[in-house]
């Protein structure tokens, strides 16, 4: 299958390793990955912070880049949630009927990375090897908006060498929340404190998720506290193979 990758603005800039891993996994499975170069951002930060006028043109931009794609894969559950929950309404707001029709036709072809593997391709074993103790953080958008359910965990369970440990309070928000993390830094920190404690209780070496935004926030505290626990996007765990065992 020809897969069009929407990497998202922050993965592009801050987490290129996640993108490389997505390409690695999809190519290993025999698919072709293309990267429409005009892509930038889905508009989530602007929309969720109240800057709606600024977010609207980004819908048309995304559509223009991806409307002919066979499948769009996005390694970020919150960006996919943004599209599924708001793009139709946003297209209506622009008054552009063609855009609305394009959005409605494109959305069913948009997949979060793990759900593309489990739901579109019907896979739970992608031939990965990752000999580490890992815990999985279900981000709120993955859990509630995309209803990923057991999908990501089923992929992890089939990774060879992995020791998967369940995170207590899986349904509880880590406290990132986009601009919430800086606008309400104190409350965000308090929420993060509970999440970090739960992660430490698992004694995992690594916390993984389908959202680098949560992970950046969690990583920030894990590093500040010198815990030695790392964070890693699910794609990077699934990209692991015998050859690169360290």
Partner 1 sequence: MSLITFDPARVPTFQVAAKSLLGDTQMRKNVRHATNVIQNKRAIVVNEMPDWQQLRESGRQIKEHTLQHLDFYLKQFEENCTAAGGVVHWARDAAEAREIVIDLVKQSGSNEVIKIKSMTTEEISLNKGLEANGIHAYETDLAELIIQMGNDLPSHIVVPALHKNRQQIREIFKREMNLPDLGDQPADLAEAARMFLREKFLRVKTGVSGANFLIAETGGVCVVESEGNGRMCLTLPETLITIAGVEKVIPRYQDLEVFAQLLPRSATGERMNPYTSIWTGVHPTDGPRTFHIVLMDNARTKILADEESRQTLACIRCGACQNICPVYRQTGGHAYGSVYAGPIGAILTPQLQEMHSGQSLPYASSLCGACYEVCPVKINIPEVLIHLRHKVVEQDTQGFGALNPEALAMKAMAMLFMSESRFRAAQRMGRMAERPLVNKAGWVTWLPGLLGGWTQVRDLHEMPKQTFREWFEQRGESEGSADGK
Which of positions 171-190 make contact with partner 1 (CB under 8 A)? 171-173, 175-190
- Count interface residues toward partner 1 (CB under 8 A): 71
Minimal distance, residue 48 CB to partner 1, in Å = 6
Q: Is 163 in the site for partner 1 (CB under 8 A)?
A: no
- H-helix segments, the chain: 9-14, 16-28, 44-49, 52-66, 77-94, 97-106, 113-115, 140, 151-157, 180-183, 185-202, 212-224, 234-238
Residues 6+ apart with CB under 8 A from 29: 121, 123, 126
Using the rule CB under 8 A, give the single segment among 4-12, 105-113, 158-166, 197-205 that binds partner 1.
Answer: 4-12
Closest CB to partner 1 among 140 and 159?
140
Report residue 209 as tokens: 């998720």
Report residue 208 as tokens: 């993984």
Closest CB to partner 1 among 64 and 94?
64
Which of positions 99-158 make contact with partner 1 (CB under 8 A)? 140-141, 144-145
Which of positions 198-217 make contact with partner 1 (CB under 8 A)? 216-217
Which of positions 220-239 make contact with partner 1 (CB under 8 A)? 220-221, 223-224
Residues 6+ apart with CB under 8 A from 241: 28, 127, 128, 129
Q: Which of 218, 221, 215 minimizes the C-alpha distance to 236?
A: 215
Minimal distance, residue 175 CB to partner 1, in Å = 6
User: What mask, x for binding partner 1 by CB under 8 A, covers residues 28 to 67?
Assistant: -----xxxxxxxxx-x-xxxxxxxx-xx-xx--x--xx--
Closest CB to partner 1 among 147 and 166?
147
Question: Are 142 and 112 in contact, with CB atoms under 8 Å apart?
Answer: yes
């Amino acid at each position: 299958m020809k897969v069009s990758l929407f990497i998202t603005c922050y993965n592009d800039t801050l987490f290129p390793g996640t993108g490389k891993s997505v390409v690695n996994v999809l190519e290993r499975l025999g698919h072709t990955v293309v990267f429409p170069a005009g892509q930038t951002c889905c508009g989530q930060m602007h929309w969720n912070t109240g800057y709606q006028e600024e977010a609207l043109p980004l819908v048309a931009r995304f559509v223009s880049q991806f409307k002919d794609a066979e499948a769009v894969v996005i390694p970020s559950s919150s960006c996919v949630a943004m599209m599924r929950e708001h793009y139709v309404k946003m297209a209506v707001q622009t008054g552009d009927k063609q855009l609305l029709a394009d959005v409605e036709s494109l959305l069913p072809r948009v997949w979060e990375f793990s759900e593309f593997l489990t739901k579109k391709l019907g896979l739970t074993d992608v031939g990965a090897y990752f000999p580490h103790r890992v815990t999985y953080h279900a981000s709120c958008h993955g859990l509630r908006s995309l209803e990923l359910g057991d999908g990501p965990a089923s992929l992890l369970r089939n990774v060879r060498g992995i020791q998967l440990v369940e995170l207590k309070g899986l349904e509880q928000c880590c406290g990132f929340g986009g601009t919430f993390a800086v606008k309400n830094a104190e409350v965000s920190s308090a929420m993060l404190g509970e999440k970090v404690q739960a992660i430490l209780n698992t004694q995992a070496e690594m916390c993984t998720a389908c959202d680098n935004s949560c992970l950046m926030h969690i990583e920030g505290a894990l590093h500040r506290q010198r815990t030695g626990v790392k964070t890693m996007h699910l794609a990077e765990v699934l990209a692991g193979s015998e050859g690169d065992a360290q």
